[in-house]
Amino acid sequence: MTTVDGLAHGLAVALQPSVLIYSLLGAVLGTLVGVLPGIGAMAAITLLLPITYYISSEAALVMLAAVYYGAQYGGAVASILLRLPGTPQSAVTTLDGYPMAQQGRAGVALFTAMISSFAGSMLGIVILVLLAGWLSGLATSFGAADYAAMMVMGLVAASTIGEGRLAKSLAMVVLGVILGCVGTDVNSGAQRFTFGQVQLIDGINLVALAMGLFGLAEIIGNIRKAERDGPPARVSLRELVPTRDDLRRMVAPITRGTALGGFFGALPGTGSTISSFLSYALERRVARQPERFGKGAIEGVAGPEAANNSASITAFVPTLTLGIPGDPIMALMLGALVIHGIQPGPMMLEANPDMFWGLVVSFGIGNLFLLVLNLPLIGIWVSMLRIPFRWLYPAIIIFVCLGVYSVRGSTFDIVMVAAIGAIGYALTQAAFSPALLLLGFVLGPLIETNLRRALLVSRGDPMIFLERPIACGFVIATFALLIYGFVKRSDQGSQASSVAD
């Protein structure tokens, strides 16, 4: 079956009324659930899983995929309006999306996120269709050494996104990696820094960390400030829509973000996190005025949103073509397929072409639904900001608690949020970047396990990092970044200090 035949066939599958209805249902539910802080795709999919036993396998998977995208977009809404990210990807979106909302440009920020997500997904589908074969080889050609080197490069590249001194940025990354060490060590089974708490055996809850560092820290700082500033001025419909200049600024970041996401998404694991951080770092680096970033630069929303959506499309490549799920959500979807007697794997394209191509087309349709559904909603979301903060924040606190609780039904995690929130506020006060801490937390354990695994594979020979071409490439890139960073920093540093004085 050629690609064109496949797509035509897929279109026939995806346009069945029942499939369309479930796709729409998934998109609506995903968005609504995703907006609730901390309750992301995982919770929404769990909620819907029982239904999937009773509907056709195509409809089931299409619905779950739509929930997945919907929740991702919903998460961006909460991040932009209230600085409440539930995932590391949406944490990147807060960096410039939230300042935009603070400046009364919430509508534009939401519009940007929506359009970039849509473009990222659609271009991601094109990448998927054209390069599925090549991308599926990517997963197996990456070994432990390559992953370790790639993630170190990711950390180094991203540590430039913090404002101010490099030492402060690096300290946050290292602190994040240390927090990531809490829990069972994969390689030895030893329990580190758990202090006898069984609740800590699986480590610190990611949602609790993200909510505490961003959401709670923001609430604490904002209670008095919001009252002083008053609610944002009422905006007219025209101001919700980006200007021509905004649109022009979005094009290049979306293109670059999509490419990054498309590549990294095909690697099982953290493709989506690493690509959104890298996209942000890249936009900042190529920008003519990098100092605008962190203060509401539209490129800082467009690039990462395109990247993580394109990554979540290509993340289906290893899941469907190798039967290797990259993250818990993909594993869930794989489970849904298996329940229907479909075994994803290298044979899937031959054995179940309906399923494969139907899914590809449905991704597109699901994203179209999302766009149509959400553009009119932007106005409603923005008007939410007009609710005085003193009415809003107690409710947010409750929603954060329940969002964190929903992850694994643990009240211990709520207590953790309290502590992390206080620390997060103090860190923000002292101009440390919580986003870098989060990135370190996510990538740290992966770096450690892959580094140690690589040395096991090579039986203790560190040359493995230079002998494998992919790893070697990343090692060289990392050093290049470091040298470039220091040169540029000292250059800027001398300028900045002369200006500051």
Partner 1 sequence: MICCQTRRGAAVAAFLTGCALSSAAMAQDWPAGPVHVFVGFPAGSSPDTIARIVAEPLAEALGQPVVVENRPGAGGVIAVQQMLARGDDSFGININGPLTTAQRLIPDLGYDPVADIAPVGLIATSPLVLAVGADFPADDLAGFIEAAAEPEAISYGSVGEGSGAHLTAELFANAAGVQLFHIPFQSYAEVTTSILGGEIDSGFMAPSAALPQVEAGTMKMLGVTSAEPFAQVPDVPVIAGTAGLPENFRAELWNAFIAPAGTDPAVIERLNAELNTILADEEVRERLLAMGWQAQPGTPDDLAQRIRDDTALWGGVIDTVQAAE
Partner 2 sequence: MRRDLYDLGWGAALAVTGFTVAGYAWASYDMGSLRRMGPGFFPVTLGLLLAGLGALIAIPAMSRPGRFRPFAWPETITVVTALLVFGLALDRLGILLTTALTVLIASSVAPRGGLGWRLVLSAAVTALVWVVFLRGLNMSLPVWPGAPR
DSSP letters of 411-425? HHHHHHHHHHHHHHH
Secondary structure, 3-state, 41-91:
HHHHHHHHHHHHCCCCHHHHHHHHHHHHHHHHHHHHHHHHHHCCCCCHHHH
**338 interacts with, out of partner 1, partner 2, none, CB within 5 to 8 A per kind:** partner 1
Within 8 A by CB and 6+ apart from 266, the residues are 135, 136, 138, 139, 314, 315, 317, 318
* Pair of tokens at residue 255: 């293109």
56 contributes a contact to partner 1 by CB under 8 A: no
Figure out which of the listed residues 122, 171, 336, 385 binds partner 1, where binding follows CB under 8 A. 336
Question: Looking at the chain, how many residues does it have?
Answer: 501
DSSP letters of 291-302? GGTTS--THHHH
Residue 292 CA to residue 294 CA, distance in Å, equals 6
**198 interacts with, out of partner 1, partner 2, none, CB within 5 to 8 A per kind:** partner 1
49 contributes a contact to partner 1 by CB under 8 A: yes
Figure out which of the listed residues 248, 386, 390, 408 binds partner 2, where binding follows CB under 8 A. 390
Residue 191, classed as helix, strand or coil, is: strand
130 contributes a contact to partner 1 by CB under 8 A: no
| Closer of 116 and 321 to partner 1 (Cβ) | 321
387 contributes a contact to partner 1 by CB under 8 A: no
**457 interacts with, out of partner 2, partner 1, none, CB within 5 to 8 A per kind:** partner 1
Identity of the amino acid at 39: I
Closest CA to 421 of 443, 396, 442: 396
466 contributes a contact to partner 1 by CB under 8 A: no
Residue 9 CA to residue 72 CA, distance in Å, equals 28
CB neighbours of residue 489 within 10 Å: 14
Residue 348 CA to residue 334 CA, distance in Å, equals 12
Strand partners, 192: 183
Closest CA to 418 of 219, 223, 218, 208: 208
18 contributes a contact to partner 1 by CB under 8 A: no
482 contributes a contact to partner 2 by CB under 8 A: no
Figure out which of the listed residues 13, 14, 24, 36 binds partner 2, where binding follows CB under 8 A. 36
457 contributes a contact to partner 1 by CB under 8 A: yes
DSSP letters of 382-404? HHHTTS-HHHHHHHHHHHHHHHH
466 contributes a contact to partner 2 by CB under 8 A: no
192 contributes a contact to partner 1 by CB under 8 A: no
Q: Which ranges in 266-352 belong to alpha helices (H)?
A: 271-286, 299-314, 316-317, 328-339, 348-351
Figure out which of the listed residues 368, 402, 477, 482 binds partner 2, where binding follows CB under 8 A. 402
| Closer of 47 and 472 to partner 2 (Cβ) | 47
Find the part of the chain contacting partner 1 (CB under 8 A) among 116-124, 331-339, 384-392, 432-440: 331-339
Find the part of the chain contacting partner 2 (CB under 8 A) among 20-28, 138-146, 291-299, 423-431: 423-431
Residues touching partner 1: how many (CB under 8 A)?
53
Q: How far is the CB of 56 from partner 1 (least distance, A)?
A: 17
Figure out which of the listed residues 3, 18, 103, 141 binds partner 1, where binding follows CB under 8 A. 141
Q: Is 234 left (phi over 0), alpha (psi -120 to 50) or beta?
A: beta
305 contributes a contact to partner 2 by CB under 8 A: no
Near partner 2 in 191-220, by CB under 8 A: 192-193, 216, 219-220
Nearest 10 degrees: CA dihedral of 161, 165, 166, 169?
A: -60
Closest CA to 374 of 119, 114, 120, 118: 114
Q: How far is the CB of 116 from partner 2 (least distance, A)?
A: 28
**215 interacts with, out of partner 1, partner 2, none, CB within 5 to 8 A per kind:** none
Residue 342 CA to residue 346 CA, distance in Å, equals 12
Identity of the amino acid at 86: G
Figure out which of the listed residues 16, 21, 185, 323 binds partner 2, where binding follows CB under 8 A. 185
323 contributes a contact to partner 1 by CB under 8 A: yes
Distance of CA 54 to the CA centre of its chain: 31
**58 interacts with, out of partner 1, partner 2, none, CB within 5 to 8 A per kind:** none
Quick note: the x/- pattern for partner 1 over 273-312, rule CB under 8 A, is ----------------------------------------
Closest CA to 387 of 234, 238, 241: 234
143-172: b (≥16 Cβ within 10 Å) or e:
bbbbbbbbbbbbbbbbbbbbeeeeebbbbb
Q: How far is the CB of 343 from partner 1 (least distance, A)?
A: 5
238 contributes a contact to partner 2 by CB under 8 A: no
446 contributes a contact to partner 2 by CB under 8 A: no
Q: How far is the CB of 182 from partner 1 (least distance, A)?
A: 13
Nearest 10 degrees: CA dihedral of 3, 140, 447, 424?
A: 20
Tell me which residues touch partner 2 (CB under 8 A): 33, 36, 39, 43, 47, 165, 167-168, 170-171, 174-175, 177-178, 181, 185, 187-188, 190, 192-193, 216, 219-221, 223-224, 227, 390-391, 393-395, 397-398, 401-402, 405-406, 409, 411-412, 414-415, 417-419, 421-422, 425-427, 429-432, 448, 451-452, 455-456, 459-460, 462
Tell me which residues touch partner 1 (CB under 8 A): 42, 45-46, 49-50, 139-144, 184-189, 191, 196-199, 201-202, 268, 318, 322-326, 328, 331-333, 335-336, 338-339, 341, 343-347, 408-410, 449, 453, 456-457, 459
